Amino acid sequence: MIPVAFDYTAPSSVADAISALGSDSEEIKVLAGGQSLIPVLRLRLAAPTLLVDIGRIPELRGITDEGDAVVIGAMTTHAEVADSDLVKEHAGVLAKATETVADPQVRHRGTLGGSLVHADPAGDLPAPILALDAELVIAGADGERTVPAANFFHDMFATAVGDREILTKVRIPKHTGWGAHYEKFTRVAQQWSIVAVAATVKVDGGSISAAKVALTNMGATPIRATGVEQALLGRAAAGDTVKQAASSAAEGTNPPTDTNGDASYRRHLANVLTRRAVLAAAAS
Amino acid sequence: MARISIKVDGVEYADDVEPRTLLVYYLRDQVGKTGTVIGCDTSNCGSCTVHLDGTSVKSCTVLAVQADGHEVTTIEGLAKDGELHPMQQAFHENHALQCGFCTPGMVMQSIDLLRDNPSPTGEEVRHGLEGNLCRCTGYQNIVKAVLAAAESAPVRVGTAGGTL
């Protein structure tokens, strides 16, 4: 399968990329690692007239320690994120979710920023980014602006990033010493999540003193399970109490029905996977 | 058309390509590296796996223009002076193929796997080959071959030669 013909430009700075996005080409798409866009192009589900490749902009790549936060450049690959000691230590649930993305070849090319802006409801990285209360830095013609993760995901495949903007970096407040787990439910290798749960918890003296839980593929955007988070506070990190708290995970969600399962099955999964994710996070 | 310069299996090439050209089509149609095969064309099967600057990628999911200025190693670049790469040898000795169509991708990904983890368990080999499908379902001997290769020459096996 061969994509439709398009023009191609590979700017070497964010400023050049923004100006390329302002050109008068009819339909412009931003190319990051290409692991979602190129399959879409091959199927001709998208027919851009211009591709702006932001994969050759050095300032968009890398992971840095900025005191109280870990900052990840949008074009940092999944392999780099999953392998990073900084991410593992201070944002463990993102490292664990990233390890489960697709397969090794895809993780070598796919990028954190590309995955977030693509905003596939079954994608694995929006939920941990939401759980970790990350901030997303977006550059446009008028400069940079910062959007909290809670306001970033607008709908299926739609985010706060406008047509003439790019996501440049993700700032994650350090969650040092928090346990973390990403519980992903699939039936076959390299499948998209049917449902998955990102959980990161702080345990003091056997009881949970802070908890953040977010759900993948339980609606058009990732969803914080705030009821579960509140129910866990001050409770023992043990089977029965966590099970009870996790039983409200699906409340207020609107999961899809498809060939992998109907909405009621997904609600059941969300409760079960939340219990597993929180217990595994508390034990890690 | 866009002008690209790519080193493929140790040889420099400079060619004009359409921006929409997938790396796998460039390798097969313009460079003649037909050892790299197209299995699914949907990024699932891994048959088209090559190394881009030393790490594995699915060449159906990379544009040739994205590889401009970089180095590619295909299955055809593994054997040196008529001698099979240790991973190829291990596949041969362990009968790690049935129809053979997935083999180029399996071998390339297996080399990447050992580069990352020189002494994997059987479970880790299966996980590391998650992106490669064998429709003959001949996985048992493929895993056996990778474990045998790791056992026999762990350091040498983890490199494709020339790229690391």
What is the per-residue pLDDT across A113-139, written as a single tens digit (0 to 9) for each? 999 999 999 999 999 999 999 999 999
Higher pLDDT, B161 or B34: B34
Percent of chain B past pLDDT 90, that is, above it, reads 91
Neighbour-count burial of A263, counting CB atoms closer than 10 A to its CB (0-12 exposed, 13-18 middle, 19+ buried): middle
Q: How confident is the model over A250-270, as pLDDT tens digits?
A: 999 999 999 999 999 999 999
| Cβ distance of B19 and A51 shorter than 8 Å | yes
How many angstroms away from the CA of B97 is the closest CA of chain A?
Answer: 20
| Amino acid in position B141 | N
Q: How confident is the model at residue B164 (pLDDT cuts 50, 70, 90)?
A: very low
SS3 content of chain B, % helix, strand, coil (to 5): 40, 20, 45
Do the Cβ atoms of A39 and B2 come within 8 Å? no
Residue B160: predicted pLDDT: 63
Contact B61, A29 (CB under 8 A): no
Phi, psi for B100 (deg, rounded to 5): 90, -5
Q: Give the model's pLDDT for residue B158.
A: 64
CATH superfamily for domain A193-283: CO dehydrogenase flavoprotein, C-terminal domain (3.30.390.50)
pLDDT at B162 > cutoff 70 = no
B43 contacts chain A (CB < 8 A):
yes
Q: Is the pLDDT of residue B45 over 90?
A: yes
- List the domains of chain B with CATH numbers: 2-75 (3.10.20.30), 86-157 (1.10.150.120)
The beta-carbon neighbor of B131 closest among A3, A31, A104 is A104
CATH architecture of A7-54: 2-Layer Sandwich (3.30)
Closest residue to A104, CB basis, from B25, B44, B56: B56
Contact across the interface for B55 and A108, Cβ inside 8 Å: yes
Do the beta carbons of residue A270 and residue A253 sit within 8 Å?
yes
Q: pLDDT digit string (tens) for A190-221?
A: 889 999 999 999 999 999 999 999 999 999 99
Mean pLDDT for A28-52 is 97
CATH number for the A61-173 domain, one of 2.40.50.140, 3.10.20.30, 3.40.50.300, 3.30.465.10? 3.30.465.10
The pLDDT value given to residue B163: 35
Q: What is d(CA A39, CA B44) in angstroms, rounded to the nearest whole number?
A: 10
Closest-CA distance of chain A to residue B93, Å = 26
| B110 in contact with A, Cβ within 8 Å | no
Q: A85, exposed or middle or buried, with CB in 10 Å at 0-12, 13-18, 19+?
A: exposed
Of A2, A6, A35, the CB nearest to B61: A35
From-to residues of CATH 3.30.390.50 in chain A = 193-283
Considering chain A, tell me which residue range(s) the CATH 3.30.43.10 domain(s) occupy. Answer: 7-54
Tokens of A151: 């306001």
- Check residue B154 and give its pLDDT: 57
Shortest Cα–Cα distance, B108 to chain A (Å)? 10
**pLDDT at residue B152, as a whole number:** 86
Residue A89 backbone dihedrals phi, psi, to 5 degrees: -80, -40
Residue ranges of chain A assigned to CATH 3.30.465.10: 61-173
Could you give the residue ranges of the DSSP H alpha helices within chain A? 14-21, 37-42, 78-83, 85-90, 92-99, 104-109, 112-118, 126-131, 226-232, 239-246, 263-283
